[in-house]
Chains A and B, each alone.
Chain A
């Protein structure tokens, strides 16, 4: 029976929410009769939540727990994953489109001699082969790409595959690990977290982005307050303000930053350059706040308010805070 494997990414001993999206994407790809499985790697105890992946559709979770895997190493993780994939009839391996997913998946594809597609927003089977839909040029166009041969290795874009919570518990199977010292090349020796390990723009269900209209880096405080009352929101930025050094590049949305697909995207003081529009136009809903009624951003926004963001944003924050507390 053909199987599809989802990489259930864990960091610091905890399975990350994107792992459930990878399982959901594997489910979306599965043909009738295909089994969806997951794999978790990490230090002792990382498999503690593994059975819970059954509620989103995994029938079996392979757990590789070892002190040797506690710190992330692309080479060692690849060795373990390649061993697992070679042991069974896997037609695809699905990774989250996260920093770890995009580090590991191409490496695994090269190890297996498999075809690869990244940041997929759609996956389907045609015959025995996987056909992926994915953005190119940051989303200025979308491609349908056929991956020849089996298995296919893919990463999926954050928020592109809906997670359906059900009931059910996965069978947990320990992985047989036999790693040699030569399996460890690059190894993570330290993790420096940003402000309280903030939510990433590529993963957040809500993104509040700011542009040059904010006038001064200190004014991003207004967007941070709005993001905080919304909850589950990340603060993003246009290229102009990142180039000016106001915000880190990791927050940049657009062609030289991240492409995002949140449920809700606020573009505040952003006029809407072509590179920025490409990166955020697959958001489900877009809200634009800008003083220029002719700004291109209004052409893609679902809802717009024309006016001074310094008056509008605090009012919006206050209104949502009131809503949340009622």
Chain B
């Protein structure tokens, strides 16, 4: 069983995002970076799959600058066997990242490629599906949980108001959202071992970008509203305001 898991280094969810001097990127100064939370679910799913199979390999893959090696080391510390950093300048857009990952995956045989459902920085929620399409592989996105029996994969997809159960065959691509794959902590032993695990670096074969950020802006400041009152006695006034002023009920 060979599993590839694609990860991304992103600003911590607590981080305040400041627009950089160029007006079109986020200023990384003073920001703590983490492994994209959805990717951690994918890593956990990959490790459990290898453990259940009793053999196999988990390969962590990322596209990014030299600092992204830190994210790969974190995934190796969780238990991945080796890692590949596809080096790219700046922050390539989703299409280009998908092309780089697909180009690398064409060189590797694998059974399952896992992604986080989305990255919490660009919120694109597209790279997994784009890689699936480029490799012409069956793909299921927003998967909470999946099972592998031989070459048959059954995945539960989160959709509005319920779950869609999807059937597909390996090799396949899955993007993982929050479900039972609560990510494990890296043990001290894992962290020490990660330093000795192979981490290969090569140039990313990104294709042509098909979109570009022209500018970033902050959302409009909301007018600080009014405190209608204290306690349940304020309820009739709130209801009146919602009905007569806001006209939303």
Q: Report which A residues bind B (CB closer than 8 A).
A: 72, 74-75, 78, 98-100, 102-103, 105-107, 109-111, 113-119, 131, 134-149, 185-194, 197-200, 202-203, 206, 230, 242, 249-250, 252, 255-256, 259, 263-264, 273-275, 281-282, 284-287, 293, 298-308, 311-312, 315-316, 319-320, 323
Contacts and interface: CB of A to CB of B under 8 A. Distances in A.
Q: Of residues A72, A113, A140, A263, which shows the largest number of chain B Cβ atoms within 10 Å of its Cβ?
A: A140
Contact of A315 (B141, B156, B235): B235
Interface in B69-86: none
The list of the 10 closest CB pairs from A to B, nearest first, reads A185-B138, A115-B210, A106-B126, A193-B162, A110-B133, A200-B160, A249-B178, A307-B231, A197-B161, A302-B225
B196 interface: no
Residue in A114, A118, A186, A192 with the greatest tally of chain B CB atoms within 10 Å: A186
Interface of B: 11, 13-14, 16-17, 19, 24, 26, 37-38, 94-95, 98, 120-127, 129-130, 132-134, 137-142, 144, 154-169, 172, 177-179, 209-219, 222-232, 234-236, 238-239, 241-243, 246, 248-249
B101 to A, nearest CB: 12
A149 B210 contact: yes
Which interface residue of B125, B211, B243 has the most chain A CB atoms within 10 A?
B211
A303 B242 contact: yes
Contacts of B228: 303-305
Given A185-B168, A275-B14, A320 B249 contact: yes
B interface SS class? mixed
B91 to A, nearest CB: 11
A298 B210 CA distance: 41
A18 to B, nearest CB: 9
A293 B215 contact: no
Contacts of A102: 125-126, 129, 141-142
A284 B235 contact: no
Contacts of B223: 302
B178 A99 contact: no
Given A119-B125, A185-B172, 9 more contacts: A99-B159, A106-B127, A144-B216, A148-B211, A186-B166, A189-B165, A249-B144, A302-B246, A308-B231
A98 B159 CA distance: 8
A107 B157 contact: no
A185 to B, nearest CB: 3
Contacts of A301: 225
A191 B235 contact: no
B227 A141 contact: no
A146 B212 contact: yes
